[in-house]
Structure 1
Amino acid sequence: MMRDVQAGDLLWRPSAEVVERANLTRFRRWLAAERNLDFADYDALWRWSVTELGAFWQAIWDFCGVKASQRGEVALAEDKMPGAVWFPKARLNYVENIFAQMTDEHPAMLYEDEDGPLVEWSWAEVYRQTAVLQHHLKSLGITQGDRVVAYLPNIPEAIVACLATVSLGAIWSSASPDFGSKAVLDRFAQIEPKLLITVDGYRYNGRPFDRRDIISQLQAGLPTLEHTIAIPLLDDAPLPNTLSWPNLLANADKARELTFAQVPFDHPLWILYSSGTTGLPKPIVHGHGGNLLEHKKAIMLHNDIKPSDRFFWYTSTGWMMWNYLVGSLLSGSTAVLYNGSPSYPTLDRLWDLAERTGMSYFGLSPAFVAACQNAGIQPNQQHDLRQIRGIGSTGAPLPVSAFAWLYQNVHAHFALESLSGGTDLCTAFVGGCRLKPIYAGEIQGASLGAMVQAWNGHGEPVVGEVGELVIAAPMPSMPVKFWNDPGNLRYQESYFEIFPGTWRHGDWIKFNERGGCVIYGRSDATINRKGIRMGTSEIYACVEAVDGVLDSLVVDLELLDRDSYMPLFVILAEGKVLDDALRQEINQTLRRELSPRHVPDAIFQVSELPYTLSGKKLEIPVRRILLGHPVEKAANLGAMRNPESINFFVELAQKLAT
């Protein structure tokens, strides 16, 4: 067993073999040979990558083998934010660069749902189905710039549909079928789609969920919709007013060749959405070239993915990590897809999948690790997981206890990459580096090409103290625009209002002297106690380490004559009760591990906490409700996974007001 692990403890150092085989090492040698650039270490390489932006991204283009009908000589025509102009002469296609990796040596995808069995999809079969579907999309009148929307789970057909759409220069957008009709319409209605691709339902945690009524609501609520293609997952009964996916794919009269529309660098690739916690979700438009370069760089250099790898991330089509999973195909690796609950029939499910598929990169979330910890499972006691050489975690800060648990219960020799980025850039801008050590509770550092800094309130970079997370130089994968945003006003307000000309992401971050960083949660949900700014994630890490606490939420309120009133809300394990002893244990833990300022003014036991559909904890809406704002102005219930959870906070707000 590993000793008790503290924040900052060294957990992993790359061996000479890891360094020698790393794609980053290959890139450094390529730069020396092809560009006469010699960098002593990763930090020197990073500094060059964020100061010589044009030269760096041209190098990524060449080293990663981007396929394009035209590149042009200029990489960065306008170096400004917002409005940077990248590769203005380029003509390319994201999907063409995926199929440039075709091989007979290993599959393109491995897929499993809750009922099994594991299904292998060859590159040839993915190509065949994409080509046939592309032919049918053309016959339905889908052309460049048209929006194709998908109400699909994480199944291979979703990737085929995405590839066929994007190959034409049409624009892809997806939502998971666990989203209700209002949440889907709030997203899709804004972009006026021409085609909907859907399933009749899905299975989760052993139960079927019929979505045929919702499909009818979507068809009625999307007036621009001309056609619907249906994929039967629950049964083979045809859906009214739809085209059958199996019939379309079966009626190919001959083998077809894929064509790839050659589009400008900034041509829309897909539309993702903000969480929509306080209003309509913002439709974030990403471009072909920006996501192509960024995904090549991030997946090949930072995740260190090679064609021989099997890359997995537990995700749904409603989260940007699904788009990133599609992007893993750009490396020529095999994408591993799972559709269902990660705990069905037990929390061992994904670890079993890892062993059976030979998974070499396992993407997960802190919530999944916490569930495994609380359940007391030990994956390496039941499974051979030695083939895992990388684990990625994102969605929330990864606590120290999770770092320790993974190294204790998987094995000691993989690289644990805690990542952070977002839907806004469809990537991680701080994350992993196979050339540097890993310390408990820390992200290894800023990614290449990402000038991520912590800024104080005066707009000055700081090290060793918490500041606003900013990106101080443009990146190609920054959004092209928001859909239907005249004058780019919402875009400007979202990222550039606080620090004009500099991207403010909305998180608190602290860098240390070795370049590592810790993210402390959303800056707009920050707690300010007696002049000390505190992020919520460090409180959650301590509280949820207390035996019996499953989840927690904390907000800071200014009520009555008090400078600060900080209530903590906890979900407890079955059979646990919030008594004085447990309250005292929570308070003592916070006082001991953090400081007396971190001790809440009150602790409440709740049955559930509010989350967005994409799994984000809703701190800001809860704070607004408790400060007396009407629910309809504080939260978008249609964007919530469990809107009924708000009722407790509405009732508490009424009590606090009296």
Structure 2
Amino acid sequence: MTSEVRPRPQWVPTDADIEKARITDFARWVERRTGLSLPDYAALWQWSVDHIGDFWQAVWDYFEVRSITDPGPALANDAMPGAVWFPDARLNYVDHVTRSARTDRPAVVYEAEDGHPVVLSWAELLRQAGALAATLRSLGVGEGDRVVGYLPNVPEAVVAFLATAGLGAVWAACGQDYSAPAALDRLGQLEPKVLIAADGYSFGGRTHPRHEEIAHLRGSMPSLVGTVLVPKLGTEPVTDAIAWADATAGDAPLEPVPVPFDHPLWVVFSSGTTGLPKGIVHGHGGVLLEHVKSLALQMDIGTDDTFLWYTSPSWMMWNFQVAGLLVGATIVCYDGSPGYPDTDSLWALAARHRVTVLGTSPGYVLACSKAGVVPRRDHDLSALRAVGITGSTLPASSSTWLADNVGESVPVFSITGGTDVVSAFIGGARTVPVWPGELSAPCLGVALDSFGPDGHSVRGEVGELVVTAPMPSMPVRFWNDPDGKRYHETYFDDFPGVWRHGDWITVTERGSVEMHGRSDSTLNRNGIRMGSADIYQAVERLPEVVEALVIGAEQPDGGYWMPLFVVLADGAVLDADLEDRIKSVIREQASPRHVPDEVIAAPGIPHTRTGKKLEVPIKRMFQGADAARIMDRSAMDAPELIDWYLAQKR
């Protein structure tokens, strides 16, 4: 619910901020071209959604996107799903990266927990990508083939993506904090030709070798014709793997292959709650347009910037950070914990590398706040121009903490979007204020609305986040969804022709947006999302556990409570030993980032009568919603269980 008292902005752009912003230059360019008057962000946004095709044509022209053919109309068909963008275009995402190459600044800076930075020039980045592309080609990789990575956030992942995409092949990756079975659930669906894997990663002062996991993946993906090994730990080699140094030797030029606008660029995986994770396919052209808009116009990142977002290749924010290369920025890859060896280590990293735009999560901000960290006092953050926040809702208290302890002149660009569009629906811009606890505005080209249950717009009250017109980075399709049925069910079943995303929002009178968490049951701890199915697949294999229910509930102070309820087999007791084994199996077979805060023995798990666990209603109940309003007990298989769950509320 919105406050009755209009809040004071936390940050307001100065005249100089507005004058220097890239979005201002874009707006004036559009005005000269069209004769329109676009005096502020609200006017520019309204034009962008009222004239979707004209807006994206303007983005294409302004950023000088290149096609070897006449691309055709920007929006040839505006159906949702089924929109057709630039139907005759032949282009390549990587071509735009090569055209952004610089000689005066690095392309990639990398640091692990040992604190020894590695710097890649643009020339070296593109040389390695060209050489690796030649190696992949020699293995038979061509247009449409899949190359997958099992990698931490290292420069080699960036090189591998560019080499793959440059060939017209399809990239997908999974971070090494995922167990081999969890990684296989994702990457194995794609029947890849080549696996690129690191021998391990570092986190929290410990090294984690991954030889056994690599062996499991290789043995479980019969489509593989080759493996490339990245030596991050320098431990024993992997039999019959190509060493990274050999795979990237030589000077073969990187020559991006022109492909259709919607040709698959990568597959990213959703955190589904049932079955295998959904493989979401995005096209070259849609991602290119969306990312140059988001990076340059929304976040004001350009050729003078150093861009660091704390992320993992498992998460779409890795893809978003790589897009910094599209606008000529330097990107910073970090492999390790943001809070090791000290809570403020991420701020220290930003200071060392003169980071201008730093992205992190509400959970990390809360941890810094509780630890009494004062980044502006302890580190030289004079280069920092903006802080980006995503992953979950940023409370007003955390937003004001950033102003007080990082800098009142540093805007907080809190954004929300998703793997589904590898971008943001709502965010900030250098020309709009920041209000504590709110997202400043819908992003350009995003026809955002908030719907009530009847499918009508609502303002000043909680509704479903919807998008009423197509975006070019909406998925081309889902993997292994030939008739599009699963795609349609995911986004368009509730409101035909309208994208329902699964977030609760309130659109305020100011045009800003308050977030209220997911309306689905995705687990989202510290910005790393995972589906509950991954937890169930691990825990429910234990003989003592009959069934489990996990929820992740965002708390008003920005915290996150993640309990796991387990129904025990006859004779089993939830003692310390069993609890340890439950947490261990989650850590080893799903993810160490998603070990529950508590394990609670439950008398049963409530389901719909069709057998679906009631994750979303239970989560909403724990967040304070009235159970009588959000649950239809007549539709449950065991409605009496709800009273027991009500008694567990914290």
TM-score, structure 1 normalization: 0.82
Correspondence for 1:150: 149
C-alpha distance in 1, partners of 2:600/2:198?
34
- 1:356 matches 2:352: yes
Correspondence for 1:132: 131
Displacement, 1:459? 0.8
Q: Of 528, 532, 540, which aligns to 2:555?
A: 540
Query: Per the alignment, in what secondary structure is the counterpart of residue 454 of structure 1?
Result: strand
In 1, are the aligned partners of 2:69 and 2:89 still within 8 Å (CA)? yes
Correspondence for 1:552: 561
C-alpha distance in 1, partners of 2:595/2:237?
38
In 2, are the aligned partners of 1:146 and 1:171 still within 8 Å (CA)? yes
User: In structure 2, what residue type is equivalent to 1:373?
Assistant: S
In 1, are the aligned partners of 2:129 and 2:248 still within 8 Å (CA)? no
C-alpha distance in 2, partners of 1:268/1:513?
40
Query: Per the alignment, in what secondary structure is the counterpart of residue 541 of structure 1?
Result: coil
Displacement, 1:336? 1.1
In 1, are the aligned partners of 2:109 and 2:331 still within 8 Å (CA)? yes
Query: Per the alignment, in what secondary structure is the counterpart of residue 284 of structure 1?
Result: strand
Indicate how the Cα distance of structure 1 residues 402 and 653 shifts in structure 2: closer, same or farther if over 3 A, else same: same
Q: Deviations over 1:159-210 (max 9, x none)?
A: 0000000000000000001100111111112111111000111111111111
Q: Of 401, 419, 425, which aligns to 2:421?
A: 425
- 1:118 matches 2:117: yes
Alignment of 1:413-562 (within 5 A): 413-524=409-520, 540-542=555-557, 551-553=560-562
Correspondence for 1:247: 246
Indicate how the Cα distance of structure 1 residues 241 and 256 shifts in structure 2: closer, same or farther if over 3 A, else same: closer
- 1:221 matches 2:210: no
Correspondence for 1:47: 46
Correspondence for 2:104: 105
Displacement, 1:625? 9.4
Unaligned runs of 5+ in 2: 523-550, 566-581, 616-639
C-alpha distance in 2, partners of 1:109/1:268?
25
Displacement, 1:34? 2.5
Q: Of 337, 343, 349, which aligns to 1:341?
A: 337
Correspondence for 2:68: 69
User: In structure 2, what residue type is equivalent to 1:552?
Assistant: W
Displacement, 1:538? 9.7
User: In structure 2, what residue type is equivalent to 1:19?
Assistant: I
User: In structure 2, what residue type is equivalent to 1:368?
Assistant: Y
Displacement, 1:37? 2.4
Q: Of 264, 269, 272, which aligns to 2:268?
A: 272
Displacement, 1:72? 2.4
Q: Of 377, 380, 390, which aligns to 2:376?
A: 380
User: In structure 2, what residue type is equivalent to 1:177?
Assistant: Q
In 2, are the aligned partners of 1:521 and 1:537 still within 8 Å (CA)? no
Correspondence for 1:161: 160
Q: Deviations over 1:270-292 (max 9, x none)?
A: 00001133321000000000000
C-alpha distance in 1, partners of 2:596/2:170?
30
Query: Per the alignment, in what secondary structure is the counterpart of residue 68 of structure 1?
Result: coil
Query: Per the alignment, in what secondary structure is the counterpart of residue 484 of structure 1?
Result: coil
Displacement, 1:38? 2.1
In 2, are the aligned partners of 1:7 and 1:439 still within 8 Å (CA)? no
C-alpha distance in 2, partners of 1:464/1:624?
38
C-alpha distance in 1, partners of 2:412/2:493?
35
User: In structure 1, what residue type is equivalent to 2:40?
Assistant: D
In 2, are the aligned partners of 1:311 and 1:359 still within 8 Å (CA)? yes
C-alpha distance in 1, partners of 2:221/2:118?
34
Indicate how the Cα distance of structure 1 residues 297 and 354 shifts in structure 2: closer, same or farther if over 3 A, else same: same
Displacement, 1:415? 1.4
User: In structure 2, what residue type is equivalent to 1:331?
Assistant: V
What number of residue pairs does the alignment pair up?
569
User: In structure 1, what residue type is equivalent to 2:470?
Assistant: P
User: In structure 2, what residue type is equivalent to 1:166?
Assistant: A
Displacement, 1:487? 0.7
Displacement, 1:41? 1.4
C-alpha distance in 2, partners of 1:35/1:168?
38
Indicate how the Cα distance of structure 1 residues 297 and 615 shifts in structure 2: closer, same or farther if over 3 A, else same: farther
C-alpha distance in 2, partners of 1:152/1:57?
34
Query: Per the alignment, in what secondary structure is the counterpart of residue 225 of structure 1?
Result: coil
C-alpha distance in 2, partners of 1:506/1:624?
28
C-alpha distance in 1, partners of 2:414/2:357?
13
Alignment of 1:312-327 (within 5 A): 312-327=308-323
Q: Of 307, 311, 325, which aligns to 1:311?
A: 307
Displacement, 1:381? 1.1
Displacement, 1:539? 6.5
- 1:175 matches 2:171: no
Query: Per the alignment, in what secondary structure is the counterpart of residue 10 of structure 1?
Result: coil
Query: Per the alignment, in what secondary structure is the counterpart of residue 401 of structure 1?
Result: helix
Q: Deviations over 1:338-380 (max 9, x none)?
A: 1111111111211111111110000000011011111111111
Displacement, 1:44? 1.1
In 1, are the aligned partners of 2:356 and 2:386 still within 8 Å (CA)? yes
Correspondence for 2:631: none
User: In structure 2, what residue type is equivalent to 1:378?
Assistant: V
Displacement, 1:305? 0.5
Correspondence for 1:83: 82
Q: Deviations over 1:215-242 (max 9, x none)?
A: 1110111111111111111115321121
Displacement, 1:551? 4.0
Judge which range, 19-28 or 377-386, deviates more. Answer: 377-386
Indicate how the Cα distance of structure 1 residues 129 and 653 shifts in structure 2: closer, same or farther if over 3 A, else same: farther
Query: Per the alignment, in what secondary structure is the counterpart of residue 413 of structure 2?
Result: strand
Query: Per the alignment, in what secondary structure is the counterpart of residue 95 of structure 2?
Result: helix
C-alpha distance in 1, partners of 2:24/2:603?
51
In 2, are the aligned partners of 1:624 and 1:634 still within 8 Å (CA)? no
C-alpha distance in 2, partners of 1:470/1:309?
32
Q: Deviations over 1:26-77 (max 9, x none)?
A: 0011112223222121111111101111110000011112122124231111
Q: Deviations over 1:501-533 (max 9, x none)?
A: 10000111110111000111122469xxxxxxx
Query: Per the alignment, in what secondary structure is the counterpart of residue 483 of structure 2?
Result: helix
Unaligned runs of 5+ in 1: 1-5, 527-535, 545-549, 557-605, 637-651
Indicate how the Cα distance of structure 1 residues 7 and 226 shifts in structure 2: closer, same or farther if over 3 A, else same: farther
- 1:257 matches 2:253: yes
Q: Deviations over 1:602-646 (max 9, x none)?
A: xxxx999x9985968999x9999964459x97599xxxxxxxxxx
Indicate how the Cα distance of structure 1 residues 117 and 492 shifts in structure 2: closer, same or farther if over 3 A, else same: same
Displacement, 1:475? 0.4
C-alpha distance in 1, partners of 2:272/2:200?
24
In 2, are the aligned partners of 1:312 and 1:363 still within 8 Å (CA)? yes
Query: Per the alignment, in what secondary structure is the counterpart of residue 515 of structure 2?
Result: strand
Indicate how the Cα distance of structure 1 residues 287 and 392 shifts in structure 2: closer, same or farther if over 3 A, else same: same
Displacement, 1:264? 0.4
C-alpha distance in 2, partners of 1:310/1:629?
48
C-alpha distance in 2, partners of 1:299/1:221?
38
Q: Deviations over 1:365-423 (max 9, x none)?
A: 00110111111111111112121111100000101111011001111101111100000
Correspondence for 1:574: none
Indicate how the Cα distance of structure 1 residues 31 and 412 shifts in structure 2: closer, same or farther if over 3 A, else same: same
C-alpha distance in 1, partners of 2:604/2:122?
53
In 1, are the aligned partners of 2:107 and 2:122 still within 8 Å (CA)? yes
Query: Per the alignment, in what secondary structure is the counterpart of residue 44 of structure 2?
Result: helix
User: In structure 2, what residue type is equivalent to 1:102?
Assistant: A
C-alpha distance in 1, partners of 2:238/2:438?
50
Indicate how the Cα distance of structure 1 residues 442 and 284 shifts in structure 2: closer, same or farther if over 3 A, else same: same
Q: Deviations over 1:571-590 (max 9, x none)?
A: xxxxxxxxxxxxxxxxxxxx
Correspondence for 2:388: 392
